[in-house]
């Protein structure tokens, strides 16, 4: 029997959750740029910073000030055992540590200093430079510290392969092909610039044993690599010159207006170096624009030890803005609030209206969709597009919204892969044979459909009232086929099975799958079984390599929110598990309305490269709290048991008071 005390405790718990949501909304609104967008910092690992110094050394533009600021940052990230990891509290990584050591030596750190000695010992204990990944050894070859003969060959003549041929550049994911093309130039020219320091102390003097079955694709491609190295020594002059010219033209044609290539670090640095090795001077418009744009990806911070300088591998303003608008809508912010209108207008100005590389596989796909960053218009992605459409539908209706959404729907229909799922940037980018190449020993190099991306798109189509479309029914079946035996789904772009499950369950329910369906109930059981004793959810990034870590890890705000979103969609909004999760969010909230989340919960390359999105710890908890509390309503008038004013609930309470101007100012990335 429910007692008066039970009702009082229940009411108090809901009241505390509402107050936590109000503080979080206020904090999120305070982060909005006057032009309407949000952008949190993206943390990765110190290879970005080490390779920035190496790039500058290669180009001859490294300055003492830049070097010391970067070195200060790299030193601050070193672990007690002397290593550097690829994510917070992750294990030490050999290649990352080797590159960090070389960068610090370049900065003038004494090799006999304690921190350098520890780093060197870690590198040697884990196989030395001989055991590092291909990319690390390629950097060494650029400075004569490694033989080009011992780097896997990638001839620039690859650019001539037609799109149907194996290993043509479009067989690789967009991020990989933009990296590989400039690397073919560097591999052909084999430049040797002066590093100024030696790396000999990091060598063991023996190559690691990498056993390969004699009859296998890998063995065949190792033999092919030897043949290609022989060709490199006797490349046909006219063909080679034409290949280099074609590669340069391909690179230049894909430079974004901010100077980047795809808005990401690897193709950016390699393209600059490749063009410079070809003879392009630093004041050439392509290089000059590229170097100017690089500064916008540079973060500075004043610390007690001095100013630090670090590089963002990429930026996420479109993604962050879409997620922020969705979160505010979930929290009950009216669709016509000034903040929502400004965000809507900015997002509309970011729509991609040009065709990119995806047209190679989908020549009839119309232009449309949204990209991840301010200026990577050559590569709109399906995930951003789905989330932007969901965000736009939470803002005040306007004819231009309907037009943009119509174009996005047409583009997404064309981008569906044959299996029924969606990849992020390309359709049917699934040729796994690429992984057998000796060059491909690091990170994802293809872009196959993933459950999280497909789920976001299914949810968006369902939200548009199109759940019965053939493309959506195919996608739903594909998602059901992808469910793991334990009831979860793999997370390609977020960590990991909590992210995948948190995306798929709301999508399947939105698409009409009944909550009692065995797939939904299996996911609910998996989530409940993996709730931590403190009420939250967490999943360590080691789950990408070790199944024992699936759904296991310290509780984090973003991962707790993903679990809550799935359980709420499955009809578990009033369950004890959900309210234990809500209580964890309430109890761990900071005074400013945000949450601490040092963990990395974003994924670049599963098993190799991870991202900490600073906005995740805020936007996802807001969405989860808003939905569980019943704040969300399409009209923005009545939201659950509260009525919103400008942003949230009863005006007689001490609620959010965020005054914002309503004028529309054109941002630097919007057309005049």
Catalytic residues: 383
| Residue matched to tokens 């497909």 | 454
31-35's contacts with Cβ under 8 Å and 24+ in sequence apart are 31/324, 31/618, 32/324, 32/339, 32/342, 32/343, 32/660, 33/667, 34/342, 34/661, 34/665, 35/342, 35/346, 35/665, 35/666, 35/667, 35/670
- Are residues 63 and 71 in contact, defined by beta-carbon separation less than 8 angstroms? no
Q: Which residues, at least 6 apart from 81, have a Cβ–Cβ distance to it below 8 Å?
A: 92, 118, 122
Query: How many Å apart are CA 27 and CA 31, to the nearest integer?
Result: 7
Query: How many Å apart are CA 346 and CA 670, to the nearest integer?
Result: 8
Strand partners, 300: 309
| Residue 573: alpha-carbon gap to chain centroid | 29
Other Cβ atoms less than 10 A from the Cβ of 596: the count is 11
Residue 560 corresponds to which tokens in the numbers above? Answer: 């707790």
- Are residues 473 and 420 in contact, defined by beta-carbon separation less than 8 angstroms? no
Other Cβ atoms less than 10 A from the Cβ of 402: the count is 12
Q: Tell me whether residue 176 is exposed, middle or buried, using C-beta atoms within 10 angstroms of its C-beta: 0 to 12, 13 to 18, 19 or more.
A: buried
- Are residues 480 and 511 in contact, defined by beta-carbon separation less than 8 angstroms? no
Residue 141 corresponds to which tokens in the numbers above? Answer: 């070859």
User: 465: alpha, beta or left, given left = phi > 0 and alpha = psi -120 to 50?
Assistant: left
Cα dihedral 402, 405, 411, 417 in deg (nearest 10): -140
- Are residues 106 and 195 in contact, defined by beta-carbon separation less than 8 angstroms? yes
Residue 108 corresponds to which tokens in the numbers above? Answer: 């003038």
| C-alpha closest to that of 534 among 594, 582, 595 | 582
What SS3 state is found at 351? coil
Query: How many Å apart are CA 175 and CA 511, to the nearest integer?
Result: 31
Query: How many Å apart are CA 181 and CA 406, to the nearest integer?
Result: 34
Query: How many Å apart are CA 344 and CA 670, to the nearest integer?
Result: 13
């Amino acid at each position: 029997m429910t007692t008066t005390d039970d009702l009082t405790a229940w009411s108090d718990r809901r009241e505390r959750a509402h107050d936590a949501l109000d503080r979080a909304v206020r904090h999120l609104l305070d982060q909005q740029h006057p032009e309407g967008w949000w952008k949190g910092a993206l943390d990765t690992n110190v290879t970005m910073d080490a390779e920035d110094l190496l790039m500058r050394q290669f180009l001859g533009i490294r300055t003492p000030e830049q070097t010391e600021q970067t070195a200060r940052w790299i030193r601050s990230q070193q672990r007690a055992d002397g290593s550097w990891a690829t994510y917070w509290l992750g294990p030490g990584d050999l290649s990352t540590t080797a590159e960090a050591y070389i960068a610090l030596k370049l900065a003038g750190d004494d090799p006999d200093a304690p921190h350098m000695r520890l780093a060197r010992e870690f590198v040697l204990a884990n196989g030395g430079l001989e055991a590092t990944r291909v990319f690390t050894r390629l950097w060494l070859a650029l400075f004569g510290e490694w033989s080009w003969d011992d780097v896997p060959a990638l001839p620039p003549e690859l650019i001539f392969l037609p799109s149907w041929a194996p290993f043509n550049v479009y067989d690789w994911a967009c991020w990989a092909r933009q990296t590989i093309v400039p690397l073919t130039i560097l591999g052909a020219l084999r430049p040797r610039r002066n590093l100024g320091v030696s790396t000999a102390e990091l060598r063991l003097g023996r190559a690691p044993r990498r056993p390969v079955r004699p009859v296998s694709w890998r063995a065949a491609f190792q033999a092919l690599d030897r043949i290609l190295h022989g060709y490199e020594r006797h490349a046909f002059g006219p063909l080679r010159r034409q290949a280099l010219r074609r590669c340069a033209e391909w690179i230049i044609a894909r430079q974004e207006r901010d100077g980047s290539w795809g808005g990401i670090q690897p193709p950016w640095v390699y393209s600059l170096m490749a063009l410079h090795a070809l003879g392009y001077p630093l004041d050439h418009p392509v290089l000059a624009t590229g170097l100017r744009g690089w500064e916008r990806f540079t973060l500075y911070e004043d610390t007690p030890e001095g100013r630090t300088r670090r590089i963002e591998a990429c930026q996420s303003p479109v993604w962050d803005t879409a997620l922020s608008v969705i979160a505010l809508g979930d929290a009950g912010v009216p669709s016509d609030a000034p903040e929502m209108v400004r965000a809507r207008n900015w997002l509309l100005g970011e729509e991609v209206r040009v065709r990119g590389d995806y047209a190679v596989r989908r020549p009839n796909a119309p232009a449309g969709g949204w990209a991840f960053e301010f200026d990577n218009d050559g590569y709109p992605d399906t995930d951003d597009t789905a989330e932007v459409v969901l965000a736009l539908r939470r803002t005040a209706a306007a004819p231009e919204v309907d037009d943009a959404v119509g174009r996005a729907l047409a583009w997404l229909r064309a981008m569906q892969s044959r299996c029924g799922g969606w990849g992020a940037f390309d359709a049917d980018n699934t040729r796994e044979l690429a992984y057998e190449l000796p060059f491909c020993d690091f990170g994802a190099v293809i872009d196959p459909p993933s459950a999280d991306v497909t789920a976001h798109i299914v949810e968006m189509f369902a939200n548009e009232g199109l759940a019965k479309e053939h493309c959506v029914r195919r996608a739903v079946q594909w998602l059901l086929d992808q469910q793991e035996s334990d009831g979860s789904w793999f997370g390609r772009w977020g960590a990991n099975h909590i992210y995948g499950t948190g995306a798929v369950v709301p999508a399947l329910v939105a698409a009409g799958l009944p909550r009692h369906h065995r797939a939904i109930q299996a996911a609910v059981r998996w989530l409940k079984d993996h709730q931590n004793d403190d009420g939250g959810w967490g999943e360590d990034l080691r789950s990408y390599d070790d199944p024992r870590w699936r759904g296991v890890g310290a509780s984090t705000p973003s991962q707790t929110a993903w679990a809550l979103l799935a359980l709420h969609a499955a009809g578990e909004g009033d369950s004890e598990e959900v309210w234990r999760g809500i209580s964890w969010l309430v109890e761990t909230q900071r005074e400013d309305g945000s949450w601490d989340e040092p963990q990395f919960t974003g994924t670049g390359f599963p098993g190799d490269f991870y991202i900490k999105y600073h906005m995740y710890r805020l936007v996802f908890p807001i969405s989860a709290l808003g939905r569980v509390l019943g704040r969300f309503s399409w009209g923005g008038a009545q939201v659950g048991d509260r009525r919103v004013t400008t942003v949230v609930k009863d005006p007689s309470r001490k609620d959010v008071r965020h005054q914002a101007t309503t004028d529309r100012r054109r941002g630097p990335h919007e057309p005049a």
